[in-house]
Structure 1
Amino acid sequence: MPNISIRGKKMPQSPIRKLAPFAEIAIRKGLKVYHLNIGQPDIKSPEKAIEAIKNINLDVIAYGPSEGNKSYRKKLASFFRRQHVNVDTKDIMITTGGSEALLFAMGSIMDPGDEVIIPEPFYANYSAFSEESGAKVVPVTSSFEDGFALPSIEMFENLITPRTKAILICNPSNPTGNLYSEQEISQLGELAKRHDLFLIADEVYREFIYNPEDIHYSVMNLVGLEQNVIMIDSVSKRYSMCGARIGCMVTKNKEVIATAMKFAQARLCPPTIEQIACEAAIDTPKSYFTKTIKEYKIRRDTLISELLKIEGIEVTLPKAAFYCIVQLPVKDTDHFAKWLLKNYELEGETVMIAPAAGFYSTPGMGKNQVRMAYVLKKEELVRSVHILKEALKVYKAIKYKKPMLID
């Protein structure tokens, strides 16, 4: 039998999706599974996007431009300018999701063996994208105790080597819910300029900020860093359109755009119909976001308050996005997460969580942590945490009294 590639073997499993087979078995057994593991919003997609799809009048769904439809790119540039992000149409490349945008960015700037510094915990697929690009992830660890604030610039500086090519951040953060300040972004910009590095920012959660005094500061606003910064964006969370798979890579670096175009041409074009929907979604009224953010704030506050009622659980209040890292009173949350799906139920229900070790690159980190997404309705979050509370009691009792049953 022919061998699987070394790269394929090294590709990491998603901590978000790797437990899906266990969840499917639980569902087939008739259990209801509350999904705290994945950031799939249940907020309705904008009516304008849905109507645009319904009203499509095409005889042929043809190939489009590799960089994306010009009308969409032009409208998207106007959208960003309204968000105080100064970009032009030529700075934007439409991609098949934010994931492809990051793949194009890394493929355009990273050579095999080059290093990218990423604050951990980070979105788990960054490891996969780096592996696909032949790049090496160099983690700089942020602390649960200080709310996963940006590590000191000195910590970043100490990790820079001749192979360092880029710094990658997620702001607001998936999985921590932290929001970096203008000062922190400026400090990273100065570091990138000093060492001639690229600064890549995944900014797909820019709308989801819950404190009026907090604002999102984009790397695209860093003066003098126009050739260094690359912004990643997506419609997935903004418009609750995860399945549309439309994102974009934004940079004023013409060489990066030209290089990424080669990757874009190789995959021909981003989806035609979804671009039509996303272009229409830009006209979504501000009231949609006001209502959505208000709802997520209620859900955030509900989840955090319910979790803090459980003895042994620690969690910090996220400032943005719709995730939080939770420390559980167990030694191995990967084992616990599998047990929840395979061996536990409360009145025909159980919960699915994402073990946080998969969001770290440093071995051994996050073993007692999970990432939770507060995308369920308030009453479902309350019920989920109640199930978790009762499950922890049972797990603690049997863990030390008899062998576990899942292996």
Structure 2
Amino acid sequence: MQAIILAAGMGRRLKKLTENQPKCMVQVNQVPLIERMLKQLDQYHLNRIILVTGHEGEQLRTFTASLTLSTPIIYIDNPVYQTTNNIYSLYLAKEHLLHDDTILLESDLIFEQEVLTQIIQNPYPNLALVAHFESWMDGTVVLLDEQDNITKFLTRKDFRFEDIHSYYKTVNIYKFSKGFSETKYVPFLEAYSKALGNNEYYEQVLKVISLLDDHDLKATRLENGFWYEIDDEQDLDIAESIFTDSQSRLSRISSRYGGFWRYPGLLDFCYLVNPYFPNSRLMGEIKASFEALCTNYPSGLEINNLLAAKSLGLNRDHVLTGNGAAELIKPLIRFFERGVGIVRPSFEEYGNCARQPVPFTVSTPDFSYTVYDLMEFYKDKEIDALVLVNPENPTGNYIKKNDVVSLLEFCAERNTYLILDESFLDFSAAEEEPSLMNQETLDAYPNLVLIKSISKSYGVPGLRLGILACSDPSVTALVRKELPVWNINSLAEYFLQIFEKYQSDYTEALRRFKETRIHMYEELGTIRQLKLYPSEANFILCEIIDGCSASQIAELLLNRYNILVKDLSNKSGMEGREFIRIAVRTKEDNNRLADALKHILR
């Protein structure tokens, strides 16, 4: 068996990175793509590697010749790489296709070793390696039948985004037997090039062959191992976070704070949402209006405040909408000149934004605290505001409504604002009506500032929606001054417009969630190395008690199982102990996580 690598292209989308070097010499974590690929191929004792060069070809030949490899490299130059596409590069290597079984690769790929092993060790002679199509992918897309026969190569005309669940993207790694090349691929390659020219792609030949009744070409669905195709600088950035050592992979992916749809198969237990809302009916309504929403400006801030107030039953002058709760928190907290009381451990955005944070550090082993603990601590402290996240993040500690009102009155007596973050309150099963977000309470307590993340409770983090409610006009006026006229987009505005219609569906979603959380507690509770803490939120705090570190567990979950959890090793107020925070997702996802933890901690 031999390998043919197509490496003639200019890689224009990588801009300056490929001005003076071949695309395949772009480095991923200090290792050129071509070096990595050649060393991986070298492990299979191939007869030869044929490298088709073009842009900066002499530089590529010099570099690859300097590598220590046991497999000989044969070079073929494409002198017209600037005006041809990869069909001509393969055409130049067609004689080699006739001499041996061939692994065909494109040089802008990066992959783990098992990706190559899967196609090379598969006994079927003629294969295209494919992966489930993801919305960010670009390139050749195919349909498969139950026997993995390629039934169709899709054109742009055929492509329908509503059907992507049934699509597969070619990984651009193929295996052709010598006989397949002799009787099918090379004859069709020659005919296609003669008829349509050399400014095409070699996949077009496969498309024609797939129309034959006995084309002999199957697919093998990628089962294990990461791969990525690097076409631009964003691809390169993502590849560097995937193809690195296990410790760096966790830190690099975590520091992205989202965008995980670009990571194939990644299961996110780190960021917190509602797994059962929005439902398909609500999403269908948004999809039906998507074109209009994308091509029109959203309303201004005041109109969106009205929409939010209407849905929540509040006075429009008392409500502000934000591009996520984070957009509202910063100007609010920066408003206070004196100290701001914060709890540790808690959501750290409040403390990070405060000019003078005055922390109350929870000292109980289970991180539980009461309003009386807060009152006792802050009774002689000079603070302008006190922040309470209820339920608390990441501990899940919950304070009942009557006690929160007592704390609110305590703050009022001291001319102190209580900033109450109810972002996780809808997930609580402790009380029937735990929220203070009603007009009567706001009117009675002008010192109450309510914060709610719509993203978390309603499961739409991509819309970036947050709410601030306060009856004190000085607070809302100051925060409003810091917000742009168009601070939320049309999709978010439309969600505010329609979500009230789906309130009964939302209530049902919360009921299902609470059942799922109980089930997840039961599953994780069977793992003796974990100590679980009570939670009224959409996550569970887990302490690791067998000597393993939280970072070790988080790394193993990511690198072995493609599961991301929150490592709390560096969380203020939790020093000296090992904790991870796990989001509650669907039962199927939760079981997958529990099984992974059982294997790791077994």
TM > 0.5: yes
What amino acid does structure 2 have at the position aligned with 1:110?
F
What SS class does the counterpart of residue 282 from structure 1 fall into?
helix
Could you tell me whether the CA contact under 8 Å between 2:550 and 2:579 is conserved in 1? no
CA–CA separation in structure 2 for the residues paired with 1:357 and 1:62: 43
Could you tell me whether the CA contact under 8 Å between 1:173 and 1:179 is conserved in 2? yes
**Aligned mate of 2:522, from 305, 316, 334:** 305
Could you tell me whether the CA contact under 8 Å between 2:371 and 2:404 is conserved in 1? no
- CA gap of 1:312–1:234, structure 2 versus 1, over 3 A, is closer
CA–CA separation in structure 1 for the residues paired with 2:358 and 2:446: 22
CA–CA separation in structure 2 for the residues paired with 1:140 and 1:225: 30
**Aligned mate of 1:185, from 400, 404, 420:** 404
Deviates more, 1:228-237 or 1:115-124: 115-124
Could you tell me whether the CA contact under 8 Å between 1:200 and 1:229 is conserved in 2? yes
Query: Does residue 335 in structure 1 map to residue 551 in structure 2?
Result: yes
What displacement does 1:189 show?
1.0
Question: What's the counterpart of residue 45 of structure 1?
Answer: 278
Query: Does residue 76 in structure 1 map to residue 297 in structure 2?
Result: no
Question: What's the counterpart of residue 242 of structure 1?
Answer: 461
What amino acid does structure 1 have at the position aligned with 2:328?
A
Question: What's the counterpart of residue 580 of structure 2?
Answer: 370
What SS class does the counterpart of residue 433 from structure 2 fall into?
coil
CA–CA separation in structure 2 for the residues paired with 1:142 and 1:282: 41
Question: What's the counterpart of residue 321 of structure 1?
Answer: 537
Question: What's the counterpart of residue 119 of structure 1?
Answer: 343
Larger C-alpha radius of gyration, 1 or 2? 2
> Could you list the per-position Cα deviations for residues 167-197 of structure 1 after superposition, in whole angstroms to 9, with x for gaps in the alignment?
1111233323343212210221122112211
CA–CA separation in structure 1 for the residues paired with 2:357 and 2:310: 36
What displacement does 1:315 show?
1.1
Which aligned segments of 4 or more residues in structure 1 are displaced greater than 6 angstroms?
A: none
TM-score, with normalisation over the residues of structure 2?
A: 0.51
- CA gap of 1:63–1:304, structure 2 versus 1, over 3 A, is closer
Question: What's the counterpart of residue 269 of structure 1?
Answer: 486
CA–CA separation in structure 2 for the residues paired with 1:232 and 1:140: 22
Q: Which of structures 1 and 2 has the larger relative contact order (alpha carbons within 8 angstroms, sep 6+)?
A: 1
Question: Could you tell me the percent identity over the aligned residues?
Answer: 18
What SS class does the counterpart of residue 456 from structure 2 fall into?
coil
Question: What's the counterpart of residue 174 of structure 1?
Answer: 393
CA–CA separation in structure 1 for the residues paired with 2:549 and 2:346: 17
TM-score, with normalisation over the residues of structure 1?
A: 0.74
Query: Does residue 390 in structure 1 map to residue 599 in structure 2?
Result: yes
Question: What's the counterpart of residue 415 of structure 2?
Answer: 196
What displacement does 1:199 show?
0.4
Question: What's the counterpart of residue 400 of structure 1?
Answer: none
What amino acid does structure 2 have at the position aligned with 1:287?
S
Could you tell me whether the CA contact under 8 Å between 1:45 and 1:240 is conserved in 2? yes
> Could you list the per-position Cα deviations for residues 137-168 of structure 1 after superposition, in whole angstroms to 9, with x for gaps in the alignment?
513316453xx543352444334555422111
Could you tell me whether the CA contact under 8 Å between 1:69 and 1:275 is conserved in 2? no
- CA gap of 1:261–1:391, structure 2 versus 1, over 3 A, is same
The count of residues paired between Structure 1 and Structure 2 equals 346
Question: What's the counterpart of residue 21 of structure 1?
Answer: 252
**Aligned mate of 2:563, from 343, 351, 357:** 351
CA–CA separation in structure 2 for the residues paired with 1:241 and 1:222: 27
CA–CA separation in structure 1 for the residues paired with 2:490 and 2:404: 36
> Could you list the per-position Cα deviations for residues 307-356 of structure 1 after superposition, in whole angstroms to 9, with x for gaps in the alignment?
111113211332x32112111115574432454157x63xxx25332123
Could you tell me whether the CA contact under 8 Å between 2:553 and 2:600 is conserved in 1? no
What displacement does 1:219 show?
6.5
Query: Does residue 216 in structure 1 map to residue 434 in structure 2?
Result: yes
What displacement does 1:305 show?
0.8
CA–CA separation in structure 2 for the residues paired with 1:59 and 1:351: 33
What amino acid does structure 2 have at the position aligned with 1:190?
E
What SS class does the counterpart of residue 95 from structure 1 fall into?
strand
- CA gap of 1:150–1:77, structure 2 versus 1, over 3 A, is farther
RMSD, aligned α-carbons: 3.3
What SS class does the counterpart of residue 249 from structure 1 fall into?
strand
Could you tell me whether the CA contact under 8 Å between 2:342 and 2:357 is conserved in 1? no
CA–CA separation in structure 2 for the residues paired with 1:158 and 1:206: 25
What SS class does the counterpart of residue 455 from structure 2 fall into?
coil
What displacement does 1:279 show?
2.3
> Could you list the per-position Cα deviations for residues 209-230 of structure 1 after superposition, in whole angstroms to 9, with x for gaps in the alignment?
335x543131665478632111
Question: What's the counterpart of residue 329 of structure 2?
Answer: 102
In structure 2, list runs of 5 or more residues that go unmatched: 1-247
What SS class does the counterpart of residue 382 from structure 1 fall into?
helix
